[in-house]
A and B are shown apart, each in its own frame.
Chain A
Amino acid sequence: MAKDGFEAYDAMISAHDNGHYVLSLYVTGNTPRSTQAIVNIRKICEEHLQGRYDLEIVDITQNPSVAIGEQIIAAPTLIKELPLPLKRFVGDLSQTERILIGLSLQRKDEGTKS
């Protein structure tokens, strides 16, 4: 969270206002699942949240203390910080439908539309 208070506030306000997403993906270097997770989340974001998301990728092998602070237990882990409520997803994010539901981007009944 390198951004200062104003920006974070603005982002939160705007996210709240505009449905802006702030996502953080915690990975362990170039490991396969982590790589896969990055590819998958970026693909989801590009398809569903184009222009209204921030994706931050954090390598916990570089910053373990950050992982502790965010209560990361396994990698890769994606945290949806906005819009609230905060939500965590663990794994390589390859189950796109579940992720979309979890991100409230698709209702359960929408099924396998994409």
Chain B
Amino acid sequence: METKAFNEQSLLLENVELRARLEEAEELLRAIRAGEVDAIMVEADAGPRLFTLQGLDAQQNRFRGDLLAQVSDAVIAVDLEDRVTFLNGAAELQYRVKASDMLGRKLDEIVSRHWPTPAEEAASRAALRDFGTWRGEELQRTQDGRELAVESTLSKLHAPDGSCIGMVAAIRDITERLRINHELHEKTAFLQRIAEITPGVLQVFDLAERRAVFINRSVGTLLGFAPDAVQAMGSDVVSTLMHADDIPQFELHLDRVRALSDGEVAHFEHRMRDQAGEWRWFHSCDAVFARSDSGAVRQLIGVATEITDRKRAETVLREREHFLERIFDVIPGVLKIVDMKDSRCVFVNQNVDSVLGYSPDEIVHMGGDIVKILMHLDDQAYYHQHFVRLSTFEPGTIAKFEYRMRHKDGEWRWLETRDTVFLRDDNGVAKQYIGLSSDITERKKAEEELRRLAAELSTADQRKDEFLAMLAHELRNPLAPLRNGLQILRLSSDDKETVEEISLMMERQLAQMVHLVDDLLDVSRISRGKLELRKQRIELSSIVNNAVETSRPLIDACGHELTIVMPPEPIWIDADPTRLGQVFSNILNNAAKYSEPDGRIELVARVEWRVESEKQVASDEGASEKTENAESEVLKLATNHSPLTTSLATHDSPLGTPFVVVSIKDTGVGIPSNMLPKIFEMFTQVDRSLEKAQGGLGLGLSLVKRFVDMHGGSVVAHSEGHGRGSTFVVQLPIASSVAQVNKLPIGQDQTSSAGKRRILVADDNRDAATTLALILKIMGNEVRTANDGLQAVEMATVFQPDVIMLDIGMPKLNGYEACRRIREQPWGKKVTLIALTCLGQDDDRRRSKEAGFDHHLVKPVDHAVLRKLLSAEPIAG
């Protein structure tokens, strides 16, 4: 029974179990049929497999599910009771929950919402109610205690029949974004502060729109415009503020900015107008700020700093530099700056070119060698002294220095420099000096010339003193014999022979004095250019003979032997016989004087031909060297005695110009070679100790040279030296043709019969008048004397003389006036009037002739001349 009961119970249980299984199976089938199942599990050999059921609805749902599962925003759906009906993967992550744990739970178990104000919560509810959706930001606190800032979008969910079944929320965590925003905000504020405190104008400039997108407040301080005002200028900002002249440069600058890499900076200097209209200079540093997608520069960021002051300073500096350069250009002289370490020229102005022939560059390139290369060796030692003085002098002191530098052409240039230290180091040690050097070569030359002249003048002065002493001596010499002669004449007037002898001696002494004075007057006239030649065509031999005649007494007195050799043919020259006669007589006198007694003197004349082109060589200052040259060039055609052909007189000869050479050779003391060049100078005497009895003033040879020169000829002296004699060679041109023949009356008959004449002598010097009258009386004339012009005229009226001799310089009425008055008288026309004067110049002769004189005699009157003159005058009838 127990078993049966057990079995019954067991069967009953089994039945219940089976029913349950059946119910389960029915439940399964129902669920599948109702579409409530997603997947079926099937056992297979390889293990369990899950088959997902895919109905149309399921597929759509799945698609949505996948979509929602993949969005990054958290998506949570709730039903009307706020229970969670959906939770996507993003929501699981965001709230750190599992969907399976949260589904079906109240939403606030996952997250609690915090509204900043109740009003906002109300607003969100109202929006949901009215529009079915709300979007906004809110704060949420998660179950694990985190706070999230979220941006939520809430939408009502509707069933297909339109009834509301819940709400879906898409929730984006914007905590990070807010944090970034905040940081960004802080960073921006930081940059903003930087921008505001930057002293320069900081701006962001849009290249395409050409406007300032941003500009800081400094633009207000610098230009006076508010940042807003600048931004309001829009694309006109450049043309409004920037100087028109700078805009082309600005465009180039923008091109440079366009080519910049990030981080590179481009610079630009330009002018901007401030609110007051003043231009201010700015320096801009610009860099790339933003690029377009293609990488092209869209905006630049830049800081512009004002540099007006710097620009102004630059302008002042430039002007000063310009000013200095101009000074360097116009300054007369070489301006230089020299480094004192090695004497190197660090700067020199252009003038160095004209002074030394080197360009400034060449000078600078010489470096420290310039002193060695250019400075005169003698000056280098002084230069170093100058250098030391410069470096030790008080600052500001100017040191002067004169030195020579070699010009590029090799010539030495004298420079005078004024130097002063220009630069010192921190210890005050001189580093550079600046100096101005002037070319004083001309001045130095002039100084040299002046010194030479002074020396010469001093010599000349000394010679003049010597000359005056000698002159006094020479003038005094004849006075002693004259005085003695007078004494003798008075004592022995009866002894005719003695009188004759003494008279000759006195005449000789007098002649010597007259000669001296004549020489002096000639020299004076030549010096003043007053001497005139009275040239005439004349034969040389007559002049030579005359000269010999003049010198004969001296030659004979010294016992010299004189030989004269003349060509057989006559030689015609155009000459002043008197002056040329003086030439030869002076040379002969010299020969006589400077020879020991019984010497030999030889005068030789010959004709030579000279080629025209070489004509000028022969006449010179008497330098022996040149004389030799001249002689060597002479064609010696005619020897001493060779007869001259008749063609001599013509100049057609192909042989050149004929001229005569007269050489006078002596056996005298000779001339030292050092004196040869000087013997023709005035007041020169070779050796006064050798002066012979006849003396002399040293004027003779000087006159010789001048007279020969005036005749177009030349004279030179040769001597083998002391004691070996001298030769004087005179060359004179021969007259071109024989036209006129003049012969000097030589050896005139001085004893021509002088008839008895009535003669009036007027001279305020009573002795002169009386002696002349006495001579005339001795000559056999009837003579009266007057002592002034008036008396002369009165006496002449009474006396009615044949000849009247009037001194020119008389009191009351001078000679000229007396002459005129006499000529006015009826009887005065025929009277022979003779002027007596110390003035022998041509001009004086002309004046006396104009006054009406017939003759002009220079005192002292030569008795021979007087006798000749009187004998020629007719005796008044």
The one of B30, B52, B104 in contact with A46, judged by C-beta atoms closer than 8 angstroms, is B104
- Judge if A73 is at the interface, Cβ distance under 8 Å: yes
Range, interface on chain B: 35 or more
**Residues of chain A in range 27-60 having any CB-CB distance to chain B below 8 Å:** 27-28, 30-43, 46, 57, 59-60
**CB-defined contacts of B847 to chain A, threshold 8 Å:** none
- Judge if B526 is at the interface, Cβ distance under 8 Å: no
CA–CA, A36 and B38, complex, Å: 11
Contact B104 A41 (CB under 8 A): yes
**CB-defined contacts of A42 to chain B, threshold 8 Å:** 83, 103-105
- Judge if B871 is at the interface, Cβ distance under 8 Å: no
- Judge if A88 is at the interface, Cβ distance under 8 Å: yes
Asked whether A74 and B62 contact (CB < 8 A) given A39-B104, A68-B48, A89-B27, the answer is no
What is the minimal beta-carbon distance from B255 to any residue of chain A, in angstroms? 61
**CB-defined contacts of B35 to chain A, threshold 8 Å:** 33
- Judge if A15 is at the interface, Cβ distance under 8 Å: no
**Residues of chain B in range 62-105 having any CB-CB distance to chain A below 8 Å:** 62, 65, 69, 79, 81, 83-86, 88, 99-101, 103-105
Highest count of chain B CB atoms <10 Å: which of A38, A43, A92: A38
**CB-defined contacts of B79 to chain A, threshold 8 Å:** 39
**CB-defined contacts of A85 to chain B, threshold 8 Å:** 16, 20
CA–CA, A90 and B28, complex, Å: 5
**Residues of chain A in range 61-78 having any CB-CB distance to chain B below 8 Å:** 61, 64-65, 67-68, 72-76
What is the minimal beta-carbon distance from B620 to any residue of chain A, in angstroms? 143
Asked whether A39 and B85 contact (CB < 8 A) given A28-B38, A91-B31, the answer is yes
Contact B41 A73 (CB under 8 A): yes
CA–CA, A67 and B28, complex, Å: 15
**CB-defined contacts of A41 to chain B, threshold 8 Å:** 104
- Judge if B511 is at the interface, Cβ distance under 8 Å: no
What is the minimal beta-carbon distance from A33 to any residue of chain B, in angstroms? 4
- Judge if A94 is at the interface, Cβ distance under 8 Å: yes
Asked whether A73 and B69 contact (CB < 8 A) given A35-B99, A57-B101, the answer is no
Residue of B nearest to A25 (CB): B100
**CB-defined contacts of A68 to chain B, threshold 8 Å:** 41, 43, 48
**CB-defined contacts of B103 to chain A, threshold 8 Å:** 35, 38-39, 42
- Judge if B32 is at the interface, Cβ distance under 8 Å: yes
Residue of A nearest to B86 (CB): A35
- Judge if A107 is at the interface, Cβ distance under 8 Å: no
Contact B85 A28 (CB under 8 A): no
What is the minimal beta-carbon distance from B240 to any residue of chain A, in angstroms? 66
- Judge if A16 is at the interface, Cβ distance under 8 Å: no
- Judge if A108 is at the interface, Cβ distance under 8 Å: no
Contact B85 A74 (CB under 8 A): no
Asked whether A34 and B38 contact (CB < 8 A) given A88-B24, A91-B30, the answer is yes
**CB-defined contacts of A74 to chain B, threshold 8 Å:** 28, 31-32, 37, 39-41
What is the minimal beta-carbon distance from B53 to any residue of chain A, in angstroms? 9
**CB-defined contacts of A64 to chain B, threshold 8 Å:** 41, 47-48, 50
**CB-defined contacts of A65 to chain B, threshold 8 Å:** 47-48
CA–CA, A74 and B30, complex, Å: 12
What is the minimal beta-carbon distance from B869 to any residue of chain A, in angstroms? 178
Interface majority SS on A: helix, strand, loop or mixed?
mixed
Contact B37 A75 (CB under 8 A): yes
CA–CA, A46 and B102, complex, Å: 12
**CB-defined contacts of A40 to chain B, threshold 8 Å:** 104
Highest count of chain A CB atoms <10 Å: which of B35, B41, B50, B85: B41
**CB-defined contacts of B52 to chain A, threshold 8 Å:** 28, 31
Contact B100 A31 (CB under 8 A): no
The one of B20, B38, B81 in contact with A75, judged by C-beta atoms closer than 8 angstroms, is B38
**CB-defined contacts of A91 to chain B, threshold 8 Å:** 27, 30-31, 34, 36-37
Contact B99 A92 (CB under 8 A): no
What is the minimal beta-carbon distance from B62 to any residue of chain A, in angstroms? 7
**CB-defined contacts of A90 to chain B, threshold 8 Å:** 24, 27-28, 30-32, 36-37
Highest count of chain B CB atoms <10 Å: which of A57, A67, A89, A90: A90
What is the minimal beta-carbon distance from A102 to any residue of chain B, in angstroms? 8
Asked whether A60 and B41 contact (CB < 8 A) given A39-B83, A42-B83, A90-B36, the answer is yes
Contact A30 B27 (CB under 8 A): no
**CB-defined contacts of A94 to chain B, threshold 8 Å:** 36
Residue of A nearest to B69 (CB): A30
**CB-defined contacts of B32 to chain A, threshold 8 Å:** 74, 90
- Judge if B61 is at the interface, Cβ distance under 8 Å: yes
Residue of B nearest to A45 (CB): B104
Residue of B nearest to A27 (CB): B100
**CB-defined contacts of B88 to chain A, threshold 8 Å:** 30
CA–CA, A113 and B787, complex, Å: 201
CA–CA, A32 and B86, complex, Å: 9
- Judge if B423 is at the interface, Cβ distance under 8 Å: no
The one of B27, B61, B83 in contact with A88, judged by C-beta atoms closer than 8 angstroms, is B27
Asked whether A30 and B28 contact (CB < 8 A) given A39-B84, A43-B83, A43-B104, the answer is no
Residue of B nearest to A56 (CB): B100
The one of A31, A36, A88 in contact with B62, judged by C-beta atoms closer than 8 angstroms, is A31
CA–CA, A89 and B43, complex, Å: 20
Contact B41 A75 (CB under 8 A): yes
What is the minimal beta-carbon distance from A28 to any residue of chain B, in angstroms? 4
- Judge if B58 is at the interface, Cβ distance under 8 Å: yes
CA–CA, A33 and B84, complex, Å: 14
CA–CA, A25 and B234, complex, Å: 71
The one of A36, A38, A89 in contact with B100, judged by C-beta atoms closer than 8 angstroms, is A38
CA–CA, A27 and B36, complex, Å: 12
**CB-defined contacts of A43 to chain B, threshold 8 Å:** 81, 83, 104
**CB-defined contacts of B86 to chain A, threshold 8 Å:** 35
CA–CA, A91 and B86, complex, Å: 17
**CB-defined contacts of A39 to chain B, threshold 8 Å:** 79, 83-85, 103-104
Contact A28 B99 (CB under 8 A): no
CA–CA, A41 and B101, complex, Å: 12
Residue of B nearest to A34 (CB): B38
Highest count of chain A CB atoms <10 Å: which of B58, B69, B85: B85
CA–CA, A87 and B20, complex, Å: 8
What is the minimal beta-carbon distance from A81 to any residue of chain B, in angstroms? 14
What is the minimal beta-carbon distance from A19 to any residue of chain B, in angstroms? 20
Residue of B nearest to A57 (CB): B100
Contact B48 A76 (CB under 8 A): no
CA–CA, A89 and B36, complex, Å: 11
What is the minimal beta-carbon distance from A42 to any residue of chain B, in angstroms? 3
**CB-defined contacts of B30 to chain A, threshold 8 Å:** 90-91
What is the minimal beta-carbon distance from A90 to any residue of chain B, in angstroms? 4
**Residues of chain A in range 9-34 having any CB-CB distance to chain B below 8 Å:** 27-28, 30-34
CA–CA, A16 and B859, complex, Å: 197
CA–CA, A96 and B99, complex, Å: 21
CA–CA, A76 and B34, complex, Å: 13
Residue of B nearest to A86 (CB): B20
What is the minimal beta-carbon distance from A8 to any residue of chain B, in angstroms? 21
**CB-defined contacts of B43 to chain A, threshold 8 Å:** 68
Residue of B nearest to A87 (CB): B20
| 21 examples of A-B residue contacts, CB within 8 angstroms | A28-B39, A30-B69, A31-B38, A31-B62, A32-B65, A33-B35, A33-B38, A36-B85, A46-B104, A57-B101, A60-B39, A72-B41, A74-B41, A75-B38, A85-B16, A87-B20, A89-B27, A91-B31, A91-B34, A92-B36, A94-B36
Please name the 6 residue pairs, one residue from A and one from B, whose CB atoms are nearest each other, closest first.
Answer: A42-B104, A91-B36, A91-B31, A38-B103, A57-B100, A31-B38
With A35-B103, A60-B50, A74-B31 known, 7 other A-B pairs at CB within 8 A are A32-B38, A35-B86, A65-B47, A73-B41, A76-B37, A90-B32, A91-B37
